[in-house]
Amino acid sequence: MYGNEAQVGRAIHGYLSKQKDQPNALTRQDIFYTTKLLSNDGYDATRASIKDSLRICGLGYIDLFLIHAPYGGKTLRLESWRAIEDAIADKEIRAGGVSNYNIHHLKEILDSKPRVFPAVNQLELHPFNTRAEITAFCQQNGIIVEAYTPLTRGYKLKDPTIVSLARKYGCTAAQLLVRWSLQHGFVPLPKSKTKERIVENAAVEGFEISGEDMKVLDGLDERFVIDWDPLDEP
């Protein structure tokens, strides 16, 4: 979907090959590779997209394949999910999930007597857009919540509450937001162009946000949407 499947596949192959003779070398099974379906165009198109993604990345299988958005209507959404189920049965992918799905979209799948439940729902999540009802529904139904743009793309890193709490916990604003996601049970997906910042953003094990301060952060919710919001799609 993002036009980088070949590059990612080559990078993974290159890294695994380079360190294969080292002690404790990683193997393909240690890498978790995710890619997406761009649009819900029905069963055949989804099966073809999965096969294309598998061929292009060259990794043998896809660990997680996500439906990017709920566009297309109920019939096409369910056809796309059936295609994912068949791809799992054929061992082309290990797990299937969705992205930007609201509760009614998830219920469509759960009420359709699926062979496989969605493993993941990937959503824009941060203290300024908490989507509490959706995340609660996911967690009640065993669906892992992945948080994209957990750092608000930097738009809210200088918010006074964020700055104050980051100072209190001796961390960066980005680390505070990552920690907020983790304490809610989400899987945050922070992005950075620099290695140093990637390492820094992951260094969040040395502190825990108090329950009181978690409520303060939750109270920042204003449904601040950074890019797009297809959750209201019928």
Nearest to 110, CA basis, from 137, 90, 132: 137
> Which segments are annotated as binding site for substrate?
68
Starting at the edge strand that comes first in sequence, how are the strands of the sheet with 187-189 ordered? 34-37, 62-67, 93-99, 120-124, 144-148, 187-189
Q: Can you spell out the DSSP letters for 196-230?
A: HHHHHHH--TT----HHHHHHHHTT-----SS--G
Q: Locate 65 and state its tokens.
A: 């394949």
Catalytic residue among 2, 43, 61, 71: 2
CA angle 86, 89, 94 (to 5 degrees): 100
The dihedral through the CA atoms of 198, 4, 118, 129 has a sign that is: positive
Residue 71 annotated among the catalytic residues of the structure? no
Q: Where are the beta strands (DSSP E) in the chain?
A: 34-37, 62-67, 93-99, 120-124, 144-148, 187-189
Question: Any idea which residues carry the catalytic annotation?
Answer: 2
